[in-house]
Chains A and B, each alone.
Chain A
Amino acid sequence: DIQMTQSPSSLSTSVGDRVAITCRASQSISSFLNWYQQKPGKAPKLLIYAASTLQSGVPSRFSGSGSGTDFTLTISSLQPEDFATYYCQQGYSSPLTFGGGTKVEIK
Chain B
Amino acid sequence: GAGVSQSPRYKVAKRGQDVALRCDPISGHVSLFWYQQALGQGPEFLTYFQNEAQLDKSGLPSDRFFAERPEGSVSTLKIQRTQQEDSAVYLCASSTTGTSGGNEQFFGPGTRLTVL
Q: Do A and B bind each other?
A: no
* B interface residues with partner A (beta carbon < 8 Å): none
